[in-house]
């Protein structure tokens, strides 16, 4: 079967956000069986996620694979240097954010994939994005929605930032992206290594958002998606989020990125009712089907 592969990476502190995002995806398609959810979690949490997903969707029709991720030494060193002050739980969250750079190794059979953060809800059939993959080439194999933040806004050192954004017309929010791992090669990972070493020269105070800035530097020549596929920034303070409000009739994804305000911890957040609508803890929100399901549990990588 040719699946629509969706990837997530997270730890159990925000497990409910994953369940809500999945619920929004399967409620907005007429063929949930075509989706395969590829989920990356810490090794010690894999059974927790399996149990939560199977209890929430007891007769799910989509396919599900859960694998674990241990960051390679170069990522571990980068995170230890950049985020010294983080708690163990927050550091684990950072580890999971960087798992998306290594999905090719975690799920070796994945090629075309849609990666999603979990602080979002999907309002349209994600299969509508499949045509984007046909635009990919060895020179362009990454697609994302442009965001309001200008490229220079990713840097705390504007002088170095101006050097690095050469050739970057616009920046993207990395919480929704498409890529084809059949095009990822040694040059791709060399770019990643370059970005990690570059920030070390500035005592790890060069990038405002480490993983997102790195992706923007690695894929300056990205294919722009329609902005409606990632209406983001609603996690910012309300005065900023109001500026970013959009036409919900046209929006395909609402994303509470940009700050610490999330629909599960801020009661009056913009578009919070949408998240509540898909939250599977709200009675009647779970899609239940009595057909075959496919689950695979993986080991550590």
Taking alpha carbons only, the member of 88, 90, 92 closest to residue 68 is 92
Percent of residues, the chain, with pLDDT higher than 90:
83
Q: State the pLDDT confidence band at 91, using cuts at 50, 70 and 90.
A: confident
pLDDT score for 294: 47
Residues 6+ apart with CB under 8 A from 63: 3, 33, 35, 36, 37, 293, 294, 295, 296
Q: Using one digit for the tens of pLDDT, what is the confidence trace for 93-109?
A: 889 999 999 999 999 99
Task: Tell me: pLDDT of 30 over 60.
Answer: yes
Average pLDDT, the chain: 91
State the CB neighbour count (10 A cutoff) for residue 215: 25
User: What is the distance between the alpha carbons of residues 75 and 248, in angstroms, rounded to a whole number?
Assistant: 38
CB-CB neighbours of 181 under 10 Å? 19
Higher pLDDT, 20 or 83: 20
Please say if the pLDDT value at position 34 is more than 60. yes
Angle of the 88-98 helix axis to the 73-82 helix axis, nearest 10: 130
- Please give the pLDDT value at position 300: 42
CB 195 within 8 A of CB 101: no
The strand pair at 294-297 and 253-255 is best described as unpaired
**Residue whose tokens read 């101006």:** 162
Does residue 204 or residue 86 have the better pLDDT? Answer: 204
Radius of gyration of the CA atoms of the chain, in A: 18
Contact 155, 207 (CB under 8 A): yes
DSSP string for 120-186: EEE-S-GGGGGGGGGG--SS--EEEEE-SS-GGGGBSSHHHHHHHTTT----EEEEEEEEEGGG--H
> 23-32, 87-96, 208-217, 254-263: lowest mean pLDDT where?
87-96
Residue in the structure block whose two tokens are 């799910």: 60
Query: Mind giving me the DSSP string for 93-105?
Result: HHHHHHGGGGHHH
Map residue 55 onto helix, strand or coil: helix
The confidence score (pLDDT) of residue 287 equals 40
CB atoms closer than 10 angstroms to residue 40: 26
Domain parsing of the chain, residue ranges? 4-231
Average pLDDT for 169-184: 97
pLDDT in tens, 256-300: 999 889 999 998 999 999 999 999 987 544 443 333 344 555 544
- The two three-digit tokens of residue 112, written as one number: 């075309």
What global pTM score does this model have?
0.92
- Please report the pLDDT score of residue 83 as a whole number: 87
* Rounded CA separation 282/279 (Å): 6
CATH code assigned to 4-231: 3.90.550.10
Q: What is the pLDDT of residue 89?
A: 77
Question: Tens digits of per-residue pLDDT, 106-152?
Answer: 999 999 999 999 999 999 999 999 999 999 999 999 999 999 889 99
Is residue 27 over pLDDT 90?
Answer: yes
Which pLDDT band holds residue 84 (cuts at 50, 70, 90)? confident
> How many angstroms separate the CA atoms of 17 and 52, rounded?
12
Q: Once rounded to an integer, what is the mean pLDDT over residues 7-28? A: 96
Asked if the model's pLDDT at residue 159 lies above 70, the reply is yes
pLDDT of residue 299: 47
| φ, ψ of residue 189 in degrees (nearest 5) | -75, -25
């Amino acid at each position: 079967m040719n699946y629509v592969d969706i990837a997530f990476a997270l730890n159990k502190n925000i497990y409910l956000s994953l369940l809500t995002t999945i619920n929004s995806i399967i409620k907005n398609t007429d063929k949930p069986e075509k989706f395969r959810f590829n989920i990356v979690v810490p090794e010690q949490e894999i059974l927790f996620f399996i149990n939560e997903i199977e209890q929430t969707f007891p007769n799910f029709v989509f396919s599900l694979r859960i694998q674990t991720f241990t960051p390679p030494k170069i990522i571990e060193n980068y995170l230890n240097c950049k985020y010294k002050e983080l708690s163990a739980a927050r550091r684990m969250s950072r580890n999971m954010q960087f798992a998306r750079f290594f999905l090719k190794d975690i799920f070796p059979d994945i090629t075309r994939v849609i990666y999603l953060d979990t602080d979002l809800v999907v309002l349209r059939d994600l299969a509508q994005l499949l045509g984007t993959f046909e635009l990919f080439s060895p020179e362009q194999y990454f697609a994302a929605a442009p965001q309001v933040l200008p490229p220079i806004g990713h840097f705390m050192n504007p002088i170095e930032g101006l050097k690095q954004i050469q050739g970057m017309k616009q920046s993207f929010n990395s919480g929704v992206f498409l890529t084809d791992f059949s095009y990822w090669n040694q040059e791709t990972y060399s770019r990643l290594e370059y970005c990690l070493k570059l920030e070390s020269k500035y005592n790890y105070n060069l990038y405002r958002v480490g993983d997102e800035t790195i992706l923007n530097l690695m894929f300056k020549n990205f294919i722009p998606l329609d902005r409606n596929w990632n209406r983001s920034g609603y996690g910012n303070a309300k005065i900023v989020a109001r500026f970013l409000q959009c036409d919900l009739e046209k929006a395909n994804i609402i994303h509470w990125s940009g700050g610490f305000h999330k629909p599960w911890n801020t009661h009056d957040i913009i578009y919070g009712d949408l998240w509540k609508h898909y939250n599977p803890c709200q009675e009647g929100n779970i899609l239940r089907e009595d057909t075959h399901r496919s689950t695979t549990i993986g080991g550590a990588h």
